[in-house]
Amino acid sequence: MKKKTKFRLKNDLAVPFWIVVSICLIGAGISYGFFHASFFRALEKLNEEPIATITFKYKTAQRRFLERVVWDRLKQNSPVYNGDTIHTANLSEATIWFDDGALDLAENTMVQVFRHKDGSVDVDLEDGTATIDSNENGKAFTFTFGGKIFSIKNGTKISAQSENGKASFVVQKGKILLADGTEFDAGKSFSINQNGETVQTLSVTSPLPNEKILTYTEDLCAVDFAWNGPGSENLTLKIASDKNFSIVNETIDVSGQNGTSLNLQKGTYYWQLSSGDGKGESKSGRLQIIQALKPSLVAPAKDYSYQYRKKSPSVRFIWTESSTATAYNFVISKSPSMTNPVVEQRSATSSIIISTLGEGTYYWQVTPYYVVNRIGFANPSDVSSFKINQRGDLVAPTLYIPGNGEFVDKSRNSITFSWGMEDEARSFKIAVSANQNMSSPIISRETNNNYITVSGKDLENLKDGQYYWTVSQVDSEGNESPKSKQRQFYALNGKIEQRTIFPPNNYRLWKPLLNDTRFTWKTNVTVGQHIQIARDSGFTNIVFDAETFGSSFSGLNLAEGTYWWRIITREGNFQTATDGKQFFVVPELDAPDILNPTETNRAIVRPAQRYTINWRSEEGADYYRLKLFKSNGEMIFDENFIAGTSYPIVMDAYEEGIYRLELQAYSYENETSSRRNSKLRTGTFALRKIKPVTLISPNGETEIDGWDAIENPPYFEWNSSEPFSSAEIVLKKVGDPSAQWNMKQSGYRYQLPQLSSGTYEWTVKAFTMDSLDISAERTFSFNVKPIPPFEKPGDAKTEGGNLFNAEYLRRTPYIIFSWNSVPRAYSYIFEVFNEQNDLLVREVLDGNDNTRFELKNLAILAKGNFRWTVKAVRIGNDGKTVLIDGDSAENSFIIDYTMNSDGGNRKRNGEFYAQ
Amino acid sequence: MRSKKRKVFIAALFFIFVFDGGNVFAEDVQLPNDSETENFDNTDGQTDSDTVNIQDEISKANKIKQPFTWTSAGDVLKYEIIIKKKDEATGNYLPYFTHETNDEETEKCIIYIEPLLPVGDYISEIRVYNVLGMLEYDMTTYDEFTVRQAYKPEIKSLSYPLYMGSTMYLDDFDNNGIIEVTGQNLFLYERVDEDDYHTDYTLSSGARALKPEKTISHDDKNRKIELQFDMKKLDVGVYTMLAQDDSGLHSDENSSATFTVKFKKWMDLDVEAGYTFPIVIHDRTLPEYVTRLSPISAQARVSFLPFKHIWGYLGVGARLSYSRMKKEEAQYTIDGNMFMSHLLFLYQMPLNKRRIMLEFHGGVGLTYFSDIKFHFPHNIVSAPLNTFDLSFLVGASMQFYMNKRLYAEVSADYSLTLNKDMVMGVVHPSVGIGWQF
């Protein structure tokens, strides 16, 4: 069994462990400090006064003391001592600042500097490019190259370039004096060759070797080239991107000119001015165009506004850097012309924080400081502005819940206080007190939210009773607003129960019953209660208010209209009320309108028929009571509890004359309404009794011979005791709904139409001159005796046999049916049926000799067996009634063809193409 | 001129067929239309839908046809063909072509859509009316199809860029088989994508048809294409280039689409002389009398090879050899001469860029034993024996060309001589030197 082991550092070893680790770390830190100091140490002489200080712009420079052989890495502003040799590395530049002038060293340049006892400075150029600029008021410089000594007058600027033992000089301003007494004025240029002879050469006065040109815009920079001296007849100017002129940007023939101007983009260029097709003398130099765009102001944004109440805001200013700028002059002014600055500071970085500004509108601007070409402050940014506003006092928060005078149920687990959120609030202070002056608060809290929840012990501290609460807000500066207007609430254990019962919401009360109606409710409140009745739901227009100690109230007297009622409890500042319930005090129902009979609409009474009195339904009515009176006032009819809106009455016994009618509506009591009566409706009407038409013949015993019915039909006869305005005989064949005739009548006698055999019924419909219906009350029937059917046609056949295949049908796209004629037949009925006995074709062929039919529409057929029949008939003059039927001759035929169910599919034999 | 010369070698043709078996070396690539040409002899263009292929129809007529075919639905009175074209703007299909078939079309289940449908997407609807003239709703079928753009290729010239002409000479060793075709609508041969336009190229000569190996270059405007053919298959002949579009439209056959492959030197005439050393390997009759054939021996041969192809050269030759025979015994000396002459049928196969020719040959001829006599002492000489015997010879040789004309040859032949007394088999190893005219 493998034993599990677990390493654990014992506590007693932990302390020494950490001590050792700390000692090691401290030792390592000290060692690194020494190393850093040693590595970046700039040697200083304690026993000697420095003659100059050195600054460098790019990378670094090295220095060797006169008596030492070790090269020393220089820091910014290192002292330079008499006899020091200074060397700049590749792509480095440095400036040695003397009391009387400055010496600029280009890359890969080595000089030795001396200070003579008379205070004059001697510069010995050993290699590279250097520019000496002597002050107007300073002492003269001497310049040594290859053992030759030149005196440099005050206020002179000379540029020297040494390469491979040769040196060339350009006097830019002032004057220099050679040992042999030769003078060179500004604009002149000369060389010292390897033999130490001084020769005046082609002199490029602009740009200087290693000149840097600062351009403040994004446009091309115009560079002026100017030269003088011998050999300007055949001159070529080349501009290249590299030192070796392998990438020549431009080659310009400037023969015979003393200068030209070129527009160049930012960057480093090498120029060469050569005479005589490059074989003669040439001058070259490096030119750097630095694009130093003016700073753009980033923050605060233009017209940004800062707010504060008591503490001035810290405003952070940010702007973009300008290339080669070493510092910025930052100015804040209250004037857009930047006069009388409020703040003026130097900043080495492109941001600054100012916290001393009070309320007002400010303008700010930064001006970069350029060391290059000793330009100093130049190229200022645009002026931007911002505002600082001081805000007014904080306002008290608005309280939400609990509402003023509200009950708070302590039996719940927690209660919540809430108020409106404020924009500037960092916290809120809430206080709950039993005293109106808010002294000794029971709850006092500070919260970040716009509510607090009180529970547990705090809740227990709230005894039943009245309390007050207020809230104030605190802003981010710690300022506190005034307290909100205090609110009161009642703390109670449990909820108040109080609810109204009768009349329920939307109840309709018939006004006569109101005084006896009892208003009832339930409550667990023992203090005084009021019943209130108002004309509006908000109980602003209270028409009745009475204190009551029971749970019911009656004896009200109100006008018709809409009301709300409620129970309200008041105790001190505490008040609670039930929701108002709506009820209506309504008048009597409207009297129901009688529709039939009326003064203009008589009661028409037929023998042995009831006459129906009807009226319009009255909304809300449940039943009606109807009474009839003779003209002498004698009541002859009384019926109560009529549920519908009509009532049939037997009036056969009534005489024609004028009668009076009374109708009243009633409604039952229900959940939403009390019982109600309507007003009484009375009316008079006239009663008229009429007599219907009588039928005479043919009557039920009449039998008509079949052939007579067709060729010599008998007559209908009927009679009426009243003259008629219109009359119509209606004749129907029993068992055949389609056989019906309606025949208008002008007299009382009318000939029958042609009829087939069968049983018929007839009656007369008629109207009097005053449009009363006097139709016959019964129908008469009679029989037409049958005629024997026609015999079936002989030799019924299809031409071409009775099998029709595809080949036959393609050749003969029709089928001909034929049969023999039948004696006395007027027409033939030809029919074709399929196997399901569906009728496909029915043709009536008129004429005794019409014994052939050609079926052209074969599309109604299909594959299979078909049955066809033909029979002889006699059809009536109406063209459709079969008066005499015949026996059917029957035959069949077969349609046969074959369909390929998979056929008719397109074959895809390749792709379709169009040209 | 050339055909006249060839008539001289009718006999040789027979020989070729004996070896060739008719078409042993011919490629089995079929021309695009050959196989089903018979089906389209119907002059009215109507044919049974079973045999119709749209591309074959177009190819045969070399113009666009749109035969629309379907399967037969049995006893049908007519079919109604409704073709709806897709409206590109709305995506709806709108009726474009409606046709009710006549009796002949009904029977053959084919119609030729006229006027032709333009390029686009279509839906076809085929309605079937049974013999009673009733529409069979359930049998109505729909099918979507696309009418694509056809481009009729046109060949304006055919050239062999290596020689800047329309002739390729097989004599040269640096043939690359790249043929440049210019004209119109010449799309790429290789099918890069199923939807890309593509042209099928066939170089045919008689029954021989060649497909390109690959495309060397192609002009973006489809006016020029360079195709590389397999040099091993490009045999002598006059070839016609046929460019066929996917639709079946193809270029016209005319003189600008022809291309000739031939040898600059249409025949080889080789004359050769050398030394042979016959060795009798069966029938001991001769060695019994004449121990060995004398080293005095020589042979000469002339070969004429007018049928030059990439797979080898065929021709006829004549061979003559002479060997001196002598044997000295104590009592007598026997000597004589043996001549052999054969008419040979030759097959030469060039190897190593024709620096070496491997040859197989065989033929029939005569062996002539001449003046064989016994010499006895005292100048007694037997009557000379002279006899001509039928002889057959087969053999193989290799010719090593030192330059274009001069060659050395090593060969080994076997001859069989039929004599009433013997059947002699002799092996003739030989070396020689020859010159090709």
User: To 5 degrees, how large is the angle CA B370–CA B373–CA B378?
Assistant: 150
Tell me if chain A has a CB within 8 Å of the CB of B97.
no
CB contact under 8 A, A905 and B148: no
CB contact under 8 A, B74 and A899: yes
Strands A203-206 and A304-308: unpaired
Mean pLDDT, residues A696-722 taken together: 84
Tell me if chain B has a CB within 8 Å of the CB of A8.
no
Tell me if chain B has a CB within 8 Å of the CB of A911.
yes
Tell me if chain A has a CB within 8 Å of the CB of B66.
yes
CB contact under 8 A, B131 and A859: no
Residue B44 has pLDDT above 70, yes or no: no
Check residue B61 and give its pLDDT: 86
Alpha helices in B234-299 (DSSP H): 285-289
**C-alpha dist (Å) from residue A604 to A597, A609, A652:** 9, 10, 11
Tell me if chain A has a CB within 8 Å of the CB of B56.
yes
Check residue B86 and give its pLDDT: 93
Using CB atoms and an 8 Å cut-off, which of residues 290-329 of chain B contact chain A?
A: none
Q: What is the overall mean pLDDT for chain B?
A: 83
Check residue B14 and give its pLDDT: 42
Closest Cα in chain A, distance from residue B303 (Å): 55
Check residue A872 and give its pLDDT: 92
Give the residues across from A547 on adjacent strands: A530
Q: What is the overall mean pLDDT for chain A?
A: 84
CB contact under 8 A, A897 and B77: no
What residues contact A184, with CB distance under 8 A and at least 6 apart?
A169, A171, A175, A176, A178, A190, A200
Check residue B125 and give its pLDDT: 93
Confidence of residue B143 (pLDDT cuts 50, 70, 90): very high
> Are the C-beta atoms of A863 and A896 separated by less than 8 Å?
yes
Check residue A218 and give its pLDDT: 83
CB contact under 8 A, A913 and B247: yes
Q: With CA atoms as reference, report the closest residue to B266 among B352, B167, B120.
A: B167
CB contact under 8 A, A905 and B53: no
Tell me if chain B has a CB within 8 Å of the CB of A811.
no
The ipTM assigned to this model is 0.70
Nearest CB to B71 within list A809, A902, A911: A902
Nearest CB to B72 within list A813, A903, A906: A903
Mean pLDDT, residues A606-615 taken together: 86
- Chain segment B418-431, per-residue pLDDT in tens: 888 888 898 989 99
Confidence of residue B292 (pLDDT cuts 50, 70, 90): low
Check residue B294 and give its pLDDT: 59
- Chain segment A792-803, per-residue pLDDT in tens: 899 999 998 889
Tell me if chain B has a CB within 8 Å of the CB of A164.
no
Chain B CB contacts of A812 under 8 Å are none
Tell me if chain A has a CB within 8 Å of the CB of B55.
yes
Nearest CB to A903 within list B74, B118, B131: B74
Residue A894 has pLDDT above 90, yes or no: yes
The DSSP element (H or E) to which A15 belongs, if any, is helix A11-39
Mean pLDDT, residues A827-833 taken together: 92
Nearest CB to B73 within list A809, A895, A904: A904
Check residue B34 and give its pLDDT: 40
- Chain segment A352-406, per-residue pLDDT in tens: 898 888 888 999 999 998 877 777 888 888 899 999 888 877 888 888 888 777 7
Chain A CB contacts of B68 under 8 Å are 906
Check residue A119 and give its pLDDT: 75
Residue A728 has pLDDT above 80, yes or no: yes
Q: Which of A135-139, A318-322, A491-495 has the highest mean pLDDT?
A: A318-322
Chain A CB contacts of B124 under 8 Å are 906
d(Cα A184, Cα A170) in Å, to the nearest integer?
Answer: 9
d(Cα B49, Cα B68) in Å, to the nearest integer?
Answer: 8
Tell me if chain B has a CB within 8 Å of the CB of A856.
no
- Chain segment B375-413, per-residue pLDDT in tens: 888 888 888 888 899 999 999 999 999 988 899 999 999
Closest Cα in chain B, distance from residue A818 (Å): 21
- Chain segment A662-687, per-residue pLDDT in tens: 999 999 888 888 888 888 899 898 88
Confidence of residue A831 (pLDDT cuts 50, 70, 90): very high
**C-alpha dist (Å) from residue B166 to A559, A608, B279:** 125, 125, 52
Tell me if chain A has a CB within 8 Å of the CB of B196.
no
B381-387 long-range CB contacts below 8 Å, 24 or more apart?
Answer: B384/B336, B385/B336, B387/B419
d(Cα A394, Cα A472) in Å, to the nearest integer?
Answer: 9
Check residue A526 and give its pLDDT: 62
Check residue B43 and give its pLDDT: 40
The 8-class DSSP code of residue A708 comes to: H
Mean pLDDT, residues A161-173 taken together: 76
**Among the listed ranges A226-240, A547-561, A575-589, which one has the minimum average pLDDT value?**
A226-240
CB contact under 8 A, A810 and B124: no
d(Cα A378, Cα A382) in Å, to the nearest integer?
Answer: 12
Closest Cα in chain B, distance from residue A890 (Å): 23
Please indicate whether residue A459 or residue A713 has the higher confidence score (pLDDT): A713
Closest residue on chain B to A858 (Cα): B132
Is the torsion defined by CA of A740, A742, A743, A746 positive or negative? positive
Tell me if chain A has a CB within 8 Å of the CB of B184.
no
Confidence of residue A816 (pLDDT cuts 50, 70, 90): very high
Nearest CB to A809 within list B73, B118, B132: B132
Closest Cα in chain B, distance from residue A803 (Å): 14
CB contact under 8 A, B134 and A858: yes
Residue A194 has pLDDT above 50, yes or no: yes
Cis, peptide link before residue B287, omega less than 30° from 0:
no
Confidence of residue B45 (pLDDT cuts 50, 70, 90): very low
